[in-house]
Structure 1
Amino acid sequence: MDETQPTPTLDNHLHLDPVNGRGVAAAEEFAAVGGTHLLVLNKPSWHYGGEITDADDFRAGFEHTLDVTRRSTAVLPGRAWAVLGVHPTLISRLTDQGFTPEEARDLMQTGLDVAAEYVASGDALALKSGRPHYEVDEAVWTASNSVMRHAFSLGAANDCAVQLHTEGGEEFTEVAQWAADAGMSRHRVVKHYAGGRVTGPTPSVLSDKDELLRAAEAGEPFMMETDFIDDPERPGAVLGPKTVPRRTTWLREQGYETALEIAHVETPHRVYGIDTNETLE
């Protein structure tokens, strides 16, 4: 192996905020410790001012994300891709403002339709959706599941993956079946903020050492993430941008080369159709 050539190191889920946070500087920090590729998730549009009332309000956050993703690609030895969608907690924000769960559902599905336009044009790689990770009433839960199932329909129509923000746990067979019912391949459903074992979707493992070891030892498809928030009021939350490259080095030192090939090359290709070797400089 050419020791001067970087090996693919992908953070599958982080946020870069070019307005309020560090933006491209966080991508530079990631690259400085060996990171090569990023999947950049949009922050909710209300982080950029204003509430969500129509399709155009979603575009604000999407456009900021596309801009910082393009500029991050310029500082990486690999590249960055945007993943766009609607954070499931929006439903609570909307119902607190007086929307019915059904009205909130419809608006969130509109936001996903807008995100899918960017996927269809090639500007975004995948969609994100999910359901609340906290206790909600039955009407909100039902509406949230409808939003998520709409994302699966869009994933099938646009031949793309869907990243999910959901409650914790390991058993998501039913959710993966909903995706299959919509015409998606189950492995293209990605459980963001996952532990080392997940049944149903492909796990994107939050890069805690113990959970990474569980994933590595399982020998199954998985990816690694930080869920870096890029919020100046919460520096380092959830994990900092250096974490995935540093955990990758640590796993390599533990002898998990095969698992790293799975996490950074094989699984991204299987889920998203991207080639993290070919996209290295």
Structure 2
Amino acid sequence: MQPILDNHLHLDPVNGRGADAVDDFANAGGTHLLVLNKPSWHLVGEVDGEDGFRETFDLTVEVTKRASEKLPGRAWPVLGVHPGLISQLLDRGYDPEAARDLMQTGLDVAGEYVADGTALAIKSGRPHYGVTDAVWEASNEVMCHAFAVGAERDCAVQLHTEGGDSFPDIAAWAADAGLPAERVVKHYSEGPIEGATASVISRKDELEAAAESSEPFLMETDFIDDPDRPGAVLGPKTVPRRMTWLREAGYDAAMEQAHVETPKSVYGIDTAATLD
């Protein structure tokens, strides 16, 4: 059996299928998952302090444990603060600085879960939509705080950001914080990128571009587990099916890289050794 890792998938134990969605992934040949907590407002509503973040993270940790029981490999939680929370907080009357401080508190809490071995990595980012200069600056400060937490806790940081294929500012800020750029993972990449490790959305054109590049990359679906949008963004069967398609197209080395070598270098996990 070959390891098959979906690097970015959501399981919603409150509103969605939760761990039951993992059956589709496993039945298609999938072996390993990184489960990202959904935005806090989808799981627990308004968050104003540590307790709300802990409630969000605990829900994700528990559903990830149930997911692991369904896999020939295992699942790991990746916990953090969605960058869109800043807009939620502004709508509730926070100013950008207060929103920044609360989001940084959430990242500190996520770092505690990494420190005690409960979570594998953290997530952060900045808005992928238009915001004011003050919100952009506050969001970048949140993201830089995530890099500091990642360096302190010796873990990778997944990012939700605007699109693009070059992120020199992100690489520089991560380096300033003591976090190697390869341990910064750009979620929803559309091919190879500079300044971080690409987590490529598993559409055929994007995956072919990544496989042709010989640059390190990961594969993801960004499955959101929303009963009103079944299969969005991509369904949980997608990564196993795309891996089969890429192997048949001759990209065996790229698949070994995406599912064994890159997970080991970025996260320190051994997907081959953790197979039953």
SS of 1:234 mapped into structure 2 = coil
Q: Hey, what does 1:42 align to over in structure 2?
A: 37
Aligned ranges for residues 63-142 of structure 1 at < 5 Å?
63-142=58-137
Matched, 1:188 2:183: yes
- Find the aligned partners of 1:155 and 1:48 in 2 and give their Cα distance: 24
Count of residue pairs the alignment pairs up: 276
- What per-residue deviation string (whole Å, max 9, x for no partner) do you get for residues 13-57 of structure 1? 000011211111111110001000000000122212430111111
One-letter amino acid of the counterpart of residue 212, structure 1: L
- Find the aligned partners of 2:221 and 2:159 in 1 and give their Cα distance: 15
- Find the aligned partners of 1:210 and 1:54 in 2 and give their Cα distance: 42
SS of 2:129 mapped into structure 1 = coil
- Find the aligned partners of 2:42 and 2:136 in 1 and give their Cα distance: 24
Matched, 1:272 2:276: no
SS of 1:82 mapped into structure 2 = strand
Q: Hey, what does 2:26 align to over in structure 1?
A: 31
- Find the aligned partners of 1:13 and 1:50 in 2 and give their Cα distance: 22
- Find the aligned partners of 1:238 and 1:48 in 2 and give their Cα distance: 18
Q: Hey, what does 2:237 align to over in structure 1?
A: 242
Q: Hey, what does 2:228 align to over in structure 1?
A: 233
Matched, 1:161 2:156: yes
SS of 1:235 mapped into structure 2 = coil
SS of 2:198 mapped into structure 1 = strand
Gaps of 5+ in 1: 1-5
SS of 1:69 mapped into structure 2 = helix
Q: Displacement of 1:197 after TM fit? A: 1.5
TM-score by length of 2: 0.99
Matched, 1:174 2:177: no
- Find the aligned partners of 2:156 and 2:44 in 1 and give their Cα distance: 29
Q: Displacement of 1:92 after TM fit? A: 0.5
Q: Displacement of 1:251 after TM fit? A: 0.3
Q: For 2:210, which of 199, 211, 215 is the aligned residue?
A: 215
Q: Displacement of 1:174 after TM fit? A: 1.3
Q: Hey, what does 2:47 align to over in structure 1?
A: 52
Q: Hey, what does 1:3 align to over in structure 2?
A: none
Matched, 1:147 2:142: yes
- Find the aligned partners of 1:107 and 1:132 in 2 and give their Cα distance: 16
Regions of 4+ moved over 6 Å: none
Q: Hey, what does 2:201 align to over in structure 1?
A: 206
- Find the aligned partners of 2:142 and 2:97 in 1 and give their Cα distance: 10
Q: CA RMSD in A?
A: 0.6
Identity of aligned residues (%): 69
Matched, 1:260 2:255: yes
SS of 1:236 mapped into structure 2 = coil
- Find the aligned partners of 1:95 and 1:45 in 2 and give their Cα distance: 15
- Find the aligned partners of 2:114 and 2:96 in 1 and give their Cα distance: 27
- Find the aligned partners of 2:167 and 2:79 in 1 and give their Cα distance: 22
Q: Displacement of 1:182 after TM fit? A: 0.2
SS of 2:35 mapped into structure 1 = strand
One-letter amino acid of the counterpart of residue 71, structure 1: R
Q: Hey, what does 1:21 align to over in structure 2?
A: 16
One-letter amino acid of the counterpart of residue 77, structure 1: P
Q: For 1:61, which of 53, 56, 60 is the aligned residue?
A: 56
- What per-residue deviation string (whole Å, max 9, x for no partner) do you get for residues 119-175 of structure 1? 000000000000000000000000000000000000000000000000001110110
My pick for the range that moved more, 14-23 or 268-277, is 14-23
